[in-house]
């Protein structure tokens, strides 16, 4: 966790707005400016040879958008799909991606001083993808660097090194 | 204001580039013996337009070169100067220089003045040498009887009081001309004597017809000397030896028009037709940003999707209203389809856009290698998506260069093999169903099977026990199959072939090779007509819908009991009319969650990709439909075995199968096992 990231994410004086959501019993927050829309979980079209947490793709008004289940990826909570299951559609750079979460809770404003560095262990996420921890009322909220997480190799949503080396001529 | 000027600059650069392309195209195909007035005019106009524009924008370097070029071309146009192959060469090189200068202005780089001066000097030298000595008029002098009007010129070979234009004195005296641009007025006078009886319009045809005969040195042909109208028809009947010899006299690079056994008469007739079509096309076209066109195509794609959703809903509406809705929707479907086709056609360009550069490529390369090669272009009017054409240029250039460099043997080798010294490279495009096939064929030595196999063994490439020719030819497309001494002594054909193959596959196409020793090699590229829409068959596997591109499908069937054999307990084979087809279970390969039917109760779709055939086992056939291809890569990434996705009538997503990639699965049983876990 480094200071610059935190400064960048929590920039303005009045703080920045975050969307909080739950995975199992844990509370998380992500930068609301990355959120395109929130919708219910719908049938997905499965993609072969993809990791289990990539549920498949959906049609989002003509765009073919992949859906990933963060609960499965980080092994938090029960993975069930019902009419209350929520998909947060994010826009990361020019790409859309849907993220399945248990519930969306609130929009909160966090100032720089509200976010404290996260411990190296004790949360399900690798600390690389965390901006820090914040206290909201009684509960602790884990603030995620969603952009870094989604574009990571670990999620494997994007063709990166492997593809570009393939298409390059000698 | 400065922005405005920049805009003008851009269109000037673009237009100038087009002028240069046009000039090059004409120079490559022009009949040196008797160039048509149209062609000469067009070349002149190209130089003139560039000069005019460069004057306005103050592009001095362009102006200097084009000015001299214009003067020179003007004399050619006025038929004072013969368009000889040396001159063509100089003009082509000047064209290259102009391109460099244009590029420099465009990129804001420093002007290559040395090149500018060289080009100017070269042109001036030609001009001077012409002015100094009275030049013979070979195209005129050698064919006096064929066109009565031309008889004037050699009849009055009075060189010149003032400027060496004396030949034209009689004509120019008749036509009032102003000082500097008198040449413009000379044009009609130059053309009209060709067809005194049938009017200037037919003069060109007469001239074209004459072109066929002009190549032969003999002037005793009975059809000559009669009025142009008859002359125009005559070459059509003249399928005799003389017409044949005329071909022999043509330049080493043929004009890029379909060359048929009908002989030169047909060629020139088509040439004139082509020109007419082109000029009418130019006058009615507009320039549109491709982004706008793409946007339009996307929107229409959306419309098609919405429409199929409507159709789905329509099925649930009952009674009178349902019928009305159905009728109206039917109309909508028709209109949308037409709209879609029209919009798609906007993106379609004739493949001549890609082919046009090859006469030059072949000419230069053949000249460098000391070979004599005819490039024959066929089907250049075949239309293809603009994006595809642009991406085709590189692989095609590679293939053509390959054919010229390694395919066609040296003159001596050809002679020794009992072939004509002049080799042929054929560039051919044709439409085949939903595919466009582009072939690069040569009549050279063909690939050397043994050498390729030896080389493959050396390199440790996997090779079947009894490799078919096809297997062997595929080897040259293996990455790094660098081929010094493989095919020819100089170098091999494999250089970069893997890149060519990959580029073509990236376009959704495939590359096939046919070769016969001593007879030549044909590379054929099979491409989809467009990247945006595919005709497909909807099939079900488990709970998922997949689209199989129709081009891949041979037939589909419900297998008879007992026609499915098991191999090694795992792989299945389907026996159809005494052929065994490997079976690929779609549900298993695509890891569909819900269980699929067993092989005996499912449907087998026999598919073919790249001459590899297999049976795709699916649960159910849903129907045939045209689907809009959506990119998976835009928000996700490439998935093996999947060419893209589309949106179904119910709003769900279906994957479009990439049969070629599935075939890769089918041949390797390890992958089969891995994917059926």
Are residues B54 and B60 in contact, defined by beta-carbon separation less than 8 angstroms?
Answer: yes
Structure tokens belonging to residue B427? 């560039």
Contacts of B589 in chain A (CB under 8 A): 48
pLDDT at B421: 86
A65: nearest Cα among A35, A85, A45, A93: A45
Q: Are B18 and B85 within one domain?
A: yes
Q: Is the pLDDT of residue A20 over 90?
A: yes
Residue pointed to by tokens 């080799």: B423
Q: Are B247 and B147 within one domain?
A: yes
Contacts of A167 in chain B (CB under 8 A): 502, 506
Q: Is the pLDDT of residue B277 over 60?
A: no
CA atoms of B383 and B353, how far apart (whole Å): 10
According to DSSP, the residues that pair with B583 across neighbouring strands are B615
pLDDT at B592: 82
Is residue B475 in some structural domain?
yes
Contacts of A65 in chain B (CB under 8 A): 635-636
Q: Are strands B383-385 and B373-378 parallel, antiparallel or unpaired?
A: unpaired
pLDDT at B575: 84
Q: Do B637 and A64 touch (CB under 8 A)?
A: no
Q: Are B539 and B615 within one domain?
A: yes
pLDDT in tens, B190-206: 333 443 443 343 433 43
H or E element, residue B572: strand B571-576
Contacts of A91 in chain B (CB under 8 A): none
Angle at A155 between CA A151 and CA A157, to 5 degrees: 65
pLDDT in tens, B6-38: 667 777 788 888 888 888 888 877 777 777 878
Residue of A47, A59, A166 with shortest CB distance to B639: A47
Confidence of residue B222 (pLDDT cuts 50, 70, 90): very low
Q: Is the pLDDT of residue B555 over 70?
A: yes
Q: What is the mean pLDDT of chain A?
A: 79
pLDDT top residue among B407 and B207: B407
Are residues A36 and A25 in contact, defined by beta-carbon separation less than 8 angstroms?
Answer: no
Contacts of A66 in chain B (CB under 8 A): 635-636
Contacts of A58 in chain B (CB under 8 A): 653
Confidence of residue A100 (pLDDT cuts 50, 70, 90): very high
> In chain B, which residues touch A (CB < 8 A)?
298, 301-302, 305, 480, 496, 499, 502-503, 506, 544, 589-593, 630-642, 645, 647, 651-655, 675
- Residue B651, min C-alpha distance to chain A (Å): 7
Query: What average pLDDT score do residues A5-16 get?
Result: 57
Distances (CA, A) of B124 to B118, B127, B164, B362: 10, 5, 15, 28
Is residue B265 in some structural domain?
no
Residue of B nearest to A55 (CA): B593
Contacts of A48 in chain B (CB under 8 A): 589-591, 639-642, 675
pLDDT at A123: 59
Phi, psi of B488, deg, nearest 5 = -120, 175
pLDDT in tens, B412-461: 888 888 888 888 999 999 877 667 889 999 988 888 888 888 888 887 77
B24: nearest Cα among B122, B98, B84, B95: B95
pLDDT at B132: 59
Is residue B275 in some structural domain?
no
Are residues A89 and B635 in contact, defined by beta-carbon separation less than 8 angstroms?
Answer: no
pLDDT at B569: 67
Q: Do B635 and A64 touch (CB under 8 A)?
A: yes
Q: Do B593 and A46 touch (CB under 8 A)?
A: yes
pLDDT at B6: 65
Number of domains in chain A: 1
Is residue B424 in some structural domain?
yes
Q: What is the CATH number of the domain that holds B38?
A: 1.20.120.160
Residue of B nearest to A43 (CA): B652
Contacts of A89 in chain B (CB under 8 A): none
Q: What is the CATH number of the domain that holds A9?
A: 2.40.50.180
Q: Is the dihedral of CA A160, A162, A163, A165 positive or negative?
A: positive
Q: Do B631 and A50 touch (CB under 8 A)?
A: no
Are residues B211 and B194 in contact, defined by beta-carbon separation less than 8 angstroms?
Answer: no
Residue of A nearest to B593 (CA): A46
pLDDT at B101: 84
Confidence of residue A37 (pLDDT cuts 50, 70, 90): very high
pLDDT in tens, B239-274: 343 434 443 343 334 344 333 333 333 344 444 444
pLDDT top residue among B578 and B220: B578
For residue B539, the 8-state DSSP code is: E
Q: What is the mean pLDDT of chain B?
A: 71
Contacts of A156 in chain B (CB under 8 A): 637
User: Which residue, B132, B152, B183, sits at the end of a domain?
Assistant: B132
Q: Do B630 and A65 touch (CB under 8 A)?
A: no
Number of domains in chain B: 5
pLDDT at A90: 93
pLDDT in tens, B321-334: 888 888 898 898 88
Confidence of residue B652 (pLDDT cuts 50, 70, 90): confident
CB pairs under 8 A between A and B: 86
The total of other beta-carbon atoms located within 10 Å of residue B314's CB is 16
Query: What average pLDDT score do residues B76-87 get?
Result: 79
- Residue B652, min C-alpha distance to chain A (Å): 6
Query: What average pLDDT score do residues B623-636 get?
Result: 80
String of DSSP letters for chain A:
--HHHHHHHS-STT-EEEEEEEETTEEEEEEGGGEEEEEE----B--TT--TTEEEEEEETTEEEEEEEHHHHHT-S-----TT-EEEEEEETTEEEEEEESEEEEEEEE-GGGEEPPPSSSSSS-GGGEEEEEEETTEEEEEE-HHHHHTSTTTT-S--HHHHHHH---
Structure tokens belonging to residue B576? 């159809």
CA atoms of B107 and B189, how far apart (whole Å): 43
- Give residue A125's domain range: 3-167
H or E element, residue B546: strand B544-549
Residue of A63, A156, A159 with shortest CB distance to B638: A159
Residue of B nearest to A168 (CA): B499
Is residue B482 in some structural domain?
yes
pLDDT at B24: 83
Is residue B281 in some structural domain?
no
Q: Please tell me the least confidently modeled range out of A29-33, B178-182, B276-280, B480-484.
A: B178-182
Q: Are B302 and B339 within one domain?
A: yes
Q: Do A48 and B589 touch (CB under 8 A)?
A: yes
Q: Are B521 and B409 within one domain?
A: yes
- Three-state secondary structure string covering B372-413: CEEEEEECCCCEEEHHHHHHHHHHHHHHHHHHHHHHCCCHHH
Query: What average pLDDT score do residues B608-624 get?
Result: 83
Query: What average pLDDT score do residues B508-526 get?
Result: 86
B88: nearest Cα among B333, B271, B252, B216: B252
Are residues B229 and B206 in contact, defined by beta-carbon separation less than 8 angstroms?
Answer: yes
Q: Is the pLDDT of residue B507 over 60?
A: yes
Q: Do B651 and A59 touch (CB under 8 A)?
A: yes
Residue of B305, B506, B634 with shortest CB distance to A167: B506
- Residue B675, min C-alpha distance to chain A (Å): 8
Non-local (6+) Cβ contacts of B141 within 8 A are B153, B154
Which of B635, B662, B677 best probes binding to A when mutated, by most A CB atoms within 10 angstroms?
Answer: B635
- Residue A168, min C-alpha distance to chain B (Å): 9
Q: Do B592 and A58 touch (CB under 8 A)?
A: no
pLDDT at B489: 34
CA atoms of B617 and B628, how far apart (whole Å): 24
Are residues B487 and B452 in contact, defined by beta-carbon separation less than 8 angstroms?
Answer: yes
Q: Do A50 and B639 touch (CB under 8 A)?
A: yes
pLDDT in tens, B576-605: 888 888 888 888 888 887 766 777 788 889
- Give residue B199's domain range: 136-252
Q: Do A64 and B642 touch (CB under 8 A)?
A: no
Q: Please tell me the least confidently modeled range out of B447-451, B477-481, B669-673.
A: B669-673
Q: Which region, left, alpha or beta, applies to residue B147 given φ > 0 means left and ψ of -120 to 50 means alpha?
A: beta
User: Which residue, B350, B369, B394, sits at the end of a domain?
Assistant: B350
pLDDT at B610: 64
String of DSSP letters for B175-240:
S---STTHHHHHHHHHHGGG-TTT-HHHHHHHHHHHHHHHTSS----TTTTS-HHHHHHHHHH--S
Q: What is the CATH number of the domain that holds B403?
A: 3.30.565.10
For residue B630, the 8-state DSSP code is: B
pTM: 0.48
Contacts of B652 in chain A (CB under 8 A): 43, 45, 59
Structure tokens belonging to residue B372? 């004599």
CA atoms of B534 and B646, how far apart (whole Å): 10
Contacts of B672 in chain A (CB under 8 A): none
Q: Do B630 and A64 touch (CB under 8 A)?
A: yes
The total of other beta-carbon atoms located within 10 Å of residue B608's CB is 15
Is residue B279 in some structural domain?
no
Query: What average pLDDT score do residues B71-92 get?
Result: 81
Confidence of residue A14 (pLDDT cuts 50, 70, 90): low
Residue of A49, A64, A167 with shortest CB distance to B636: A64
User: Which residue, B132, B147, B173, sits at the end of a domain?
Assistant: B132
Q: Are B342 and B365 within one domain?
A: no
pLDDT at B483: 52
Most confident of A85-89, B175-179, B187-191, B585-589: A85-89
Q: Is the pLDDT of residue A72 over 80?
A: yes
CA atoms of A170 and B479, how far apart (whole Å): 9
pLDDT top residue among B465 and B146: B465
Q: Do B635 and A96 touch (CB under 8 A)?
A: yes
pLDDT in tens, A135-166: 888 888 989 888 888 888 777 776 543 333 33
């Amino acid at each position: 966790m480094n200071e610059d990231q935190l400064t960048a994410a929590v920039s303005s004086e009045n703080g920045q707005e975050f969307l909080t959501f739950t995975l199992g019993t844990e509370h998380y927050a992500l930068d609301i400016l990355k959120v395109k829309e929130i919708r219910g979980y719908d049938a997905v079209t499965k993609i072969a040879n993809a990791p289990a947490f990539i549920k498949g793709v959906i049609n989002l008004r003509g765009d073919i958008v992949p859906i990933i289940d963060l609960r499965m990826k980080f092994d938090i909570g029960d993975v069930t799909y019902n009419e209350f299951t929520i998909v947060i559609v994010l826009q990361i750079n020019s790409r859309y991606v849907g993220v399945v979460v248990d519930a969306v809770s609130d929009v909160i404003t966090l100032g720089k001083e509200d976010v404290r560095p996260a411990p190296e262990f004790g949360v399900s996420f690798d600390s690389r993808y965390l901006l820090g921890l914040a206290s909201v009322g009684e509960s602790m909220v884990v603030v995620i660097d969603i952009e870094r997480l989604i574009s990571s190799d670990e999620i494997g949503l994007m063709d990166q090194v492997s593809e570009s080396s393939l298409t390059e001529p000698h | 204001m400065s922005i405005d000027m920049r805009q003008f600059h851009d269109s000037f650069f673009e237009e100038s580039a087009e002028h240069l392309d046009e000039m090059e195209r004409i120079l490559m195909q022009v009949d040196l013996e008797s160039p048509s007035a149209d062609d000469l005019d067009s070349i002149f106009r190209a130089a003139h337009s560039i000069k005019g524009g460069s004057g306005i924008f103050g592009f001095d370097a362009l102006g200097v070169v084009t000015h001299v070029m214009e003067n020179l071309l003007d004399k050619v146009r006025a038929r004072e100067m013969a368009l000889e192959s040396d001159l063509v060469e100089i003009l082509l090189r000047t064209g290259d220089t102009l391109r460099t200068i244009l590029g420099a202005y465009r990129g804001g780089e420093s002007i290559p003045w040395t090149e500018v001066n060289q080009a100017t000097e070269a042109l001036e030298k030609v001009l001077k040498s012409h002015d100094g000595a009275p030049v013979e008029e070979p195209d005129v002098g050698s064919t006096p009887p064929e066109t009565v009007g031309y008889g004037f010129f050699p009849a009055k070979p009075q060189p010149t009081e003032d400027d060496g234009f004396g030949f034209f004195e009689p004509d120019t005296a008749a036509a009032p001309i102003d000082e500097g641009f008198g040449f413009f007025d000379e044009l009609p006078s130059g053309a009209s004597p060709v067809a005194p009886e049938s009017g200037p319009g037919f003069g060109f045809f007469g001239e074209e017809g004459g072109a066929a005969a002009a190549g032969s040195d003999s002037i005793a042909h009975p059809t000559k000397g009669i009025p142009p109208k008859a002359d125009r028809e005559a070459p059509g009947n003249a399928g005799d030896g003389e017409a044949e010899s005329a071909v022999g006299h043509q330049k080493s690079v043929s004009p890029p028009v379909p060359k048929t056994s009908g002989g030169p008469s047909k060629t020139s007739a088509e040439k004139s037709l082509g020109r007419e079509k082109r000029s009418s096309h130019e006058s009615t076209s507009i320039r549109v940003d491709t982004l706008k066109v793409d946007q339009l195509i996307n929107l229409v794609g959306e419309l098609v999707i919405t429409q199929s959703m409507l159709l789905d809903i329509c099925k649930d509406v009952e009674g009178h209203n349902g019928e009305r809705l159905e009728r109206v929707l039917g109309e909508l479907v028709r209109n949308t389809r037409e709209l879609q086709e029209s919009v798609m056609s906007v993106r379609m360009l004739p493949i001549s856009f890609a082919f046009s550069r090859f006469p030059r490529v072949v000419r230069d390369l053949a000249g460098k290698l000391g070979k004599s090669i005819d490039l024959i272009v066929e089907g250049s009017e075949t239309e293809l998506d603009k994006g595809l054409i642009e991406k085709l240029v590189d692989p095609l250039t590679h293939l053509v260069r390959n054919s010229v460099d390694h395919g066609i043997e040296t003159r001596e080798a050809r002679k020794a093999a009992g072939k004509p010294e002049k080799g042929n490279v054929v560039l051919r495009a044709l439409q085949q169903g939903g595919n466009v096939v582009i072939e690069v064929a040569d009549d050279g030595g063909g690939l050397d099977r043994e050498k390729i196999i030896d080389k493959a063994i050396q390199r440790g490439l996997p090779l079947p026990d009894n490799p078919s020719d096809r297997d062997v030819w595929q080897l040259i497309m293996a990455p790094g199959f660098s081929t010094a001494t493989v095919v020819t002594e100089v170098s091999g054909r494999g250089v970069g072939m893997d890149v060519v193959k990959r580029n073509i596959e990236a376009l959704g196409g495939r590359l096939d090779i046919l070769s016969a020793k001593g007879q030549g090699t044909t590379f054929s590229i099979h491409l989809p007509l467009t990247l945006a829409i595919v005709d497909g068959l909807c099939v079900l596997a488990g709970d998922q819908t997949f689209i199989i591109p129709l081009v891949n499908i041979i037939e589909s069937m419900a297998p008879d009991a007992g026609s499915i054999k098991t191999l090694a307990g795992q792989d299945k084979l389907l026996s159809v009319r005494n052929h065994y087809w490997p079976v690929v279970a779609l549900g298993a390969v695509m890891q569909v969650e819900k269980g699929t039917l067993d092989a005996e109760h499912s449907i087998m779709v026999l598919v073919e990709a790249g001459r590899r055939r297999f049976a795709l086992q699916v649960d159910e056939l849903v129907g045939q439909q045209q689907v809009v291809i959506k990119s998976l890569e835009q928000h996700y990434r490439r998935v093996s075995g999947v060419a893209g996705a589309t949106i179904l009538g119910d709003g769900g997503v279906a994957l479009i199968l990439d049969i070629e990639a599935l075939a890769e699965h089918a041949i390797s049983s390890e992958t089969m096992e891995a994917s059926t876990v």
